Amino acid sequence: MIAVGCILIYLAIRRKMEPTLLLPMGFGAILVNIPGSTLTEAHGILSWLYETGIADAEVFPLLLFIGIGAMIDFGPLLAKPWLIFIGAAGQGGVFLTMMLASFFFPLNDAAAIGIIGAADGPTAILVSMRLGSQFIAPILIVAYCYMALVPVIQPLVLKAVTTKDERCIKMHYTPVGVSRSARIIFPVAVTIISGLIAPDSLALVGMLMFGNLIRECGVLSSLQKAAEGVLSPLISLLLGLSVAPMMSGPSLLRPETLLIMGFGVLAFVFDTVCGVLFVKAVNLFAREKINPLIGGAGISAFPMSSRVVQQIGLEADKQNHLLPFALGANVSGQIASVIAGGLILRFFA
């Protein structure tokens, strides 16, 4: 496990894979696995971080969502509201993976593994904790590692499920002004509607939308900058340290971890494919065709997935700029992933 910790530190520093989380997770793994370490005993600092930040009140995932909300601009979605359906379709991999994993794991663990496909670390933590999964540490590591690997995984999948002609479909973006009132009303309305649809998602959706309300209200600019630039990375660091007590050898070094890694890949692949196939189905009836690559941005890996879609679109046609549409689908996926987590909690917790 000390070697595993060193590998995580290497990935964070050398490969720049989610460094704000993998670096403290790797260092925490070293701290708790040194023989004679007392950091995870009743009054140890790491034990206290785990109990306070995750186990008891889930403080760290929820605070992290405030920072994430303060970073997200929902303008592209408000300008093209139909993109919300692509974000919803992009969560299909969560449920497909959960069904497959249920053949190998108890249902609560299978549901927690499926949420890896949401490409949303805080959601993965909260759902796996509330479901009482025994694989929280490997789920968290796999979720964040694969989020960092989106620029590697998604291009392969997108090119495999689309043709060159489909990737060349041009989409002309007409700028649409979004009023300040709409930007302020949106997080409030989403919180209410999501709470009615999936009450168990209310904590995550509420914190995400509260962070966005801080961004859009226009009277808390200093707090918005603090939430985006200070709160988010600081909570990520504390979150990485707080999962260290779960990173002992017996809990992580077992065959099930390899299965979770495999299902994690499937979750990301299924999410991407579901989004693309949804757009292809819409194109059968649509007068103005949508580039199927947009469907790949329906997962919650913001903004990496949007950049991947833009890059592949430009490879197919130098004049094909898909980023405005991809961003709208991507932020839709952020909302949809939290609602998907809430639905899983509602039915399986």
Please state which of the ranges 2-6, 94-98, 136-140 shows the lowest mean pLDDT.
136-140
Report pLDDT for 129. 87
Closest CA to 27 of 48, 42, 13: 13
Report pLDDT for 36. 86
Q: What is the CB-side half-sphere exposure of residue 19 using CA atoms within 13 A?
A: 6
Cα Rg of the chain, angstroms: 20
pLDDT band at 174 (very low <50, low <70, confident <90, very high): confident
Assess whether pLDDT exceeds 80 at residue 349.
no
Report pLDDT for 15. 83
What is the average pLDDT across 301-326? 89
CB 323 within 8 A of CB 310: yes
Prediction pTM value: 0.86
In this structure, the number of other CB atoms found within 10 A of the CB of residue 320 comes to 18
Q: Which residues of 243-259 are buried (b: 16+ CB within 10 A; e: fewer)?
A: bbbbbeeebbeeeebeb
Report pLDDT for 249. 80
Integer angstrom CA distances of residue 28 from 20, 145, 185: 13, 16, 41
Q: Looking at this protein, which amino acid is placed at residue 312?
A: I
Q: What percent of the chain has pLDDT over 70?
A: 100
DSSP 3-state assignment of 169?
A: coil
